[in-house]
Amino acid sequence: MSIVRLARPEIQSLHAYDAAEQVDDTIRLNANESPMAIAGDRFRRPLNRYPEVRPQSLRRALALRFGCSPDALLVTRGSSEAIDLLVRSFCRAGEDSVLTTSPSFSMYRHYAEIQGARIIEVVTRAEDDFAIDVDAMLAACEASTRLVFVCSPNNPTGTSLPRPQLEKLLQERGDRSAIVVDEAYVEFSGAPSVIELLDTYPNLLVLRTLSKALAFAGARCGAVVGPNSVITMLSAVQAPYALATPVVECVEDALQDEQIALAEAAVTHIIVERQRLIREISAFGFVKKIWPSDANFFLIEVEDAGEVLRCCQDQGILLRYFGGALASCIRVSVGSTDENDRLLHALGMLQGTGA
Ligand SMILES: Cc1ncc(COP(=O)(O)O)c(C=O)c1O
């Protein structure tokens, strides 16, 4: 059975918006557009015209990049939009639930709350290196659990879910839940994308983003990859013309070989810098623990998180604090060599004060 059957009934039967036809070399008097390209001609497609309802050449380019068929991919405004589309499409308010781990990326909870879906969180523990316990996830799944979000590598812990564990989750949930693997940081892990498992598991959906390794957070572009039946359904839910012409064109340009080579070199550099930061920060006496990370950030536990945050802020450096179960922890994103040197300098000053 296709996991489309898990979606809200009204979404399963939703038809895509019937947009005005777009045909090259025709006089277009069918879309109430302006005939004048007043905003200039910096773009290959003039801005007085609507973009494509769904950007097909960008879809092909991203599919090539991610190693899937274009039919299996929907281009989204960042992977955040994909999370929103999935929760809205699969969860009936007040009835269905979303399962994820904790701590993890807070947008799963955020969109579940907007939709009125219940959120079930399976806690991962600092003392077990925040390992994701698939048996505990399976035990926590309910009949109402339509979506299971697995963030791998996980934000903010940097932990990856080993492939055999993911496959166990996929096999055991079968057609009872869609398993959504959020691979926002996969390029920093050295592991291959689980997109290669799509043909084996019809309940697998994968989220990808251009915001991290490809250094395109400002363009707001990502993708959800999965069975064509689900992609077609999500496409009907997404706003028509969601991807603006300037975004489509600048992302297409960024996917050229030379740009990709630059992005890949940057990823290699960030991984080297991550290891340097982890090594050097471990030496400070106020640091109690640093967890290994497969991402472009890492989590540290310190004696006094408030003190570390304040000291860095005084030096013009922002770090991320979450509180709650991570009350003594801080997430550090890996910056440029110079930014990382400044962080080490700021932490060195704190060490000097005996904090
Ligand atoms: C795990 C994870 N998924 C998804 C996103 C959303 O990224 P974007 O919407 O920029 O693609 C983020 C952003 O930080 C993230 O950490």
User: To which residue do tokens 């400070």 refer?
Assistant: 284
Residue 233 CA to residue 165 CA, distance in Å, equals 28
Q: What is the CATH number of domain 3-17+53-255?
A: 3.40.640.10
Give kind and range of the element (H or E) at residue 79. helix 78-90
Q: Which CATH superfamily hosts domain 259-352? A: Aspartate Aminotransferase, domain 1 (3.90.1150.10)
pLDDT for 69 equals: 98
Atom 8 (ligand 1) nearest CA: 78
159, 133 contact by CB (below 8 A) = no
Residue ranges per structural domain of the chain: 3-17+53-255, 19-49, 259-352
Residue 147 CA to residue 110 CA, distance in Å, equals 14
Identical fold at 3-17+53-255 and 259-352? Answer: no
Mean pLDDT by 10-residue block, N- to C-terminus, for the chain (355 residues)? 95 95 94 87 89 96 97 98 98 98 98 98 94 97 98 98 98 98 98 98 98 96 98 98 96 94 97 98 97 98 97 97 96 98 96 65
pLDDT for 40 equals: 67
pLDDT for 198 equals: 98
Regarding the beta carbon of 55 and ligand 1, being less than 6 Å apart is answered no
Q: How many residues does the chain have?
A: 355
Residue 113 CA to residue 185 CA, distance in Å, equals 24
pLDDT for 27 equals: 95
Cis preceding linkage at 35, omega within 30: no
Regarding the beta carbon of 96 and ligand 1, being less than 6 Å apart is answered no
Count of CB atoms situated within 10 Å of the CB of 42: 11
Atom 12 (ligand 1) nearest CA: 184
209, 222 contact by CB (below 8 A) = yes
Closest CA to 90 of 194, 167, 175, 184: 175
76, 126 contact by CB (below 8 A) = no
pLDDT for 351 equals: 85
Closest CA to 157 of 313, 303, 289: 289
Regarding the beta carbon of 182 and ligand 1, being less than 6 Å apart is answered yes
